[in-house]
Amino acid sequence: MTAPVKIVLVYQSLLGIYGDQGNSLVLRQRLAWRGIAAEVVVVEPGEALPADGSLYLLGGGEDNAQTTAVRELTRDGTVFRAVENGAVVFAVCAGYQICGQTFTIGENDEVREGLGLLDVTTRRGAERAVGEILTRWTRPDGSEYVLTGFENHGGYTYLGSDAAPLAHVEKGVGNAGDGTEGAVQGRVIGTYPHGPVLARNPALADHLLELALDRQLEPLTRAEIEHDGLRRERIAFARR
């Protein structure tokens, strides 16, 4: 029997306040619907991250929690080795920011070192980005897919030359009001939308799974339809 696909949910006590842990359930369920066993492993600060994760998920959180998360992940060290070995990292909002080179915290915009997994830097923007966001993501097959989510961040993120945008903004702020949203560098993907974003965008969930498993997955017609109500309603709402 092959071992279950391991989905590692990183530091819920620090990066778990925006409901992004729902992304782990979406990934596990979409594997289950295909008959692929998967387990979600929740790891808290002070506990060792499993080294054999296929996907590592980071979610949104507050400024101080971000600093603690970087310290603990750096001390643990596993995430860096996992990325080198081909694991997927999917990071949302605060999680996205800490994957970068630097980010800032607090009213005084104090600079903090990130994990350096993404060539991006974040600093406080002119105004907080809060609201529905719609972006256009080009899938690996070249087709375009609208991503829907809810953004809520004071930090604005700027991409360096090693990172590519995940998507382009139709509505909302995204990285920094520059038309780009999220970042991709190898198998590390950062993005701002909550939702949870994978519940609203099943095609993105399947993309992450295909990256992690290194193979194409059967399309899930029935499940796609089940997810479609929320997705269509949110896209229509954002375009109103």
Q: Which residues are catalytic?
A: 93, 194
Instruction: Round to the nearest angstrom and report the end-to-end CA distance of the chain.
Output: 50
* Angle subtended by helix axes 22-32 and 202-213, to nearest 10: 70
Closest by CA position to 114, among listed 44, 169, 162, 67: 67
What part of residues 175-214 is at the interface with ligand GLN (CB under 6 A)?
none
Exposure of 216 in the CB half-sphere (CA atoms within 13 A): 5
How many residues sit in the footprint of ligand GLN (CB under 6 A)? 12
* Contact range with ligand GLN by CB under 6 A, out of 58-66, 73-81, 207-215, 218-226: 58-66
* Contact range with ligand GLN by CB under 6 A, out of 41-49, 135-143, 153-161, 172-180: 153-161
Q: Tell me: does residue 61 bind ligand GLN (CB under 6 A).
A: yes
Q: Residues with Cβ < 8 Å from 116, sequence gap 6 or more? A: 100, 101
Least separation in angstroms between CB 103 and ligand GLN: 8
Exposure of 221 in the CB half-sphere (CA atoms within 13 A): 0
Q: Which residue's CB is nearer to ligand GLN, number 63 or number 76? A: 63
Of 11, 18, 90, 150, which one interacts with ligand GLN (CB under 6 A)?
Answer: 18
Of 39, 63, 113, 178, which one interacts with ligand GLN (CB under 6 A)?
Answer: 63
Closest by CA position to 191, among listed 206, 213, 169: 169
Of 34, 74, 152, 220, which one interacts with ligand GLN (CB under 6 A)?
Answer: 152
Closest by CA position to 105, among listed 11, 113, 17: 113
Least separation in angstroms between CB 99 and ligand GLN: 12
Q: Tell me: does residue 11 bind ligand GLN (CB under 6 A).
A: no
| Alpha-carbon gap, residue 217 to 136, rounded angstroms | 22
Least separation in angstroms between CB 156 and ligand GLN: 8
Question: Residue for token digits 């915290």?
Answer: 105
Q: Tell me: does residue 30 bind ligand GLN (CB under 6 A).
A: no
| Alpha-carbon gap, residue 52 to 8, rounded angstroms | 9
Q: Which residue's CB is nearer to ligand GLN, number 97 or number 201? A: 97
Binding site for ligand GLN (CB under 6 A): 18, 60-63, 93-94, 97, 152-155
